[in-house]
Amino acid sequence: MNIEITPQTLVGSVNAVASKSHAHRLLIAAALSKRPAEVSIRTTSQDIEATRACLKQLKAGIPVLDCGESGSTLRFLLPVIMALKEEAIFLGSGRLPQRPISPLKEEMEAHGCSFSNKHRTKGTAQEICHIKGRLQGGLFTLPGNVSSQYITGLLFALPLLEKDSWIQITSPLESRSYVDLTLDVLKNFQIDIYTEEKEGLLTFKVKGRQQYIPPENLEAEGDWSNMAFWVAAGVLSKESGIIGRGVNLKSIQGDRAILSLTRRMGGEIQEKGDSFLALARPLHGIHIDASAIPDLVPILSVMAAAAKGTTCIHHAERLRIKESDRLAAMYDCLSRVGVDLAEQPGGLTIRGGSPIKGGRVSGYNDHRIVMAMAIASVVSEGPIIIEGAEAVNKSYPGFWDDFKYLGGEYREL
């Protein structure tokens, strides 16, 4: 679906969609529980449905897990499934079969699993790996700068094993808030993980033969990763701002940092209860370390384009292996609408303050690229055409409905 957006100020209130980061974790923990547990998820998405569908395969003798395009689903469930099964097949679509699973793969191989790939297909899905051998406990070593999702997958799996285990992180842990979110969910399911930090490096000690025991109430939080787009729309709009409802203002979610980053850029955020108000204010450029908040880079790049002065985004190397190469994608999209910026191996330098002129851009089959460029229309001088606008379904199927409700105007081409 290609759409043409007519520049309009956005104003009003919007309800948060469910955090897929939180929902993935709650669904997995609930599925591993000894007694039935019901998870309340206010909205769903392609990624959440991928995890839900894969967990139904727990009852199969040889599970065939179609992870769709969800990297979280794949990386979380690789060790979890092999803690329970002797054999499993993992499938994926889009860029997922090409996205890395190392060094998790090598650690699992060192602990009883063998990987192969016969390149089978099922509809649009391609085989990612065929694994044989039950995962065994022991010492796992992983770098902290590759993917926190590998650590999360092991933290879910290792309590199920017979032996005790240790996860040793060999370099400072980036995206630590995602691991903290995992630990919080595990704690609520009465899983004990001992965390030791020495000279900036973490070791997680995990006793085997634990049981997942669910709490009474399980509800996925509102999603800060997607609410960030409305924070940006509020501070970029020219009228009375945008109210976001249904969020935890003290959430462990790392992307709650959109509030502090917006304030650093000069925006005004008012907080009350489970809501915030984002108000239009002149923005200025800042330096942003994206190591802990990679998913915010697309929308922060749009905010930087509208801000006076230069914004430098660095430590964002991992964005090159997301649904798209997000650094290259944002460089291309913003260049096409007249923004002055430069791309580096690990980031972007954006010289803001000049008008955004409008133009035609690719959505790169990436939900966050599409939503970022939709918000860019708020400060654009001319229409923005986005190719592949349906990519929002991956995390936020109702995005275009909310965009229109807040005053946005678009038409399908």
Annotated binding site for phosphoenolpyruvate: 20, 71, 99, 149, 326, 368, 394
Do 138 and 163 touch, CB atoms closer than 8 A?
Answer: yes
C-alpha span between 31 and 54 (Å, rounded): 10
Question: Could you tell me which residues are annotated as the binding site?
Answer: 20-21, 25, 71, 99, 147-149, 175, 295, 322, 326, 368, 394
366 is catalytic: no
Alpha helices in 158-293 (DSSP H): 176-188, 224-236, 258-264
What CA–CA distance (Å, rounded) separates 336 from 358?
8
Binding residues for 3-phosphoshikimate: 20-21, 25, 147-149, 175, 295, 322
> Of residues 47, 66, 223, 295, which has the active-site annotation?
295
Characterise 332 by phi-psi region: left (phi > 0), alpha (psi -120 to 50), beta (else). Answer: alpha
For 351, counting Cβ atoms within 10 Å of its Cβ (0-12 exposed, 13-18 middle, 19+ buried), the class is middle
What's the burial of 273, exposed, middle or buried (CB within 10 Å: 0-12/13-18/19+)? Answer: exposed
Q: Strand, coil or helix: what is 242?
A: strand
CA–CA separation, 350 and 299 (whole Å): 13
Closest CA to 177 of 219, 232, 228, 225: 225
**DSSP per-residue string spanning 57-91:** GGGSSS-EEE-TT-HHHHHHHHHHHHHH-SEEEEE
Q: Which residues are catalytic?
A: 295
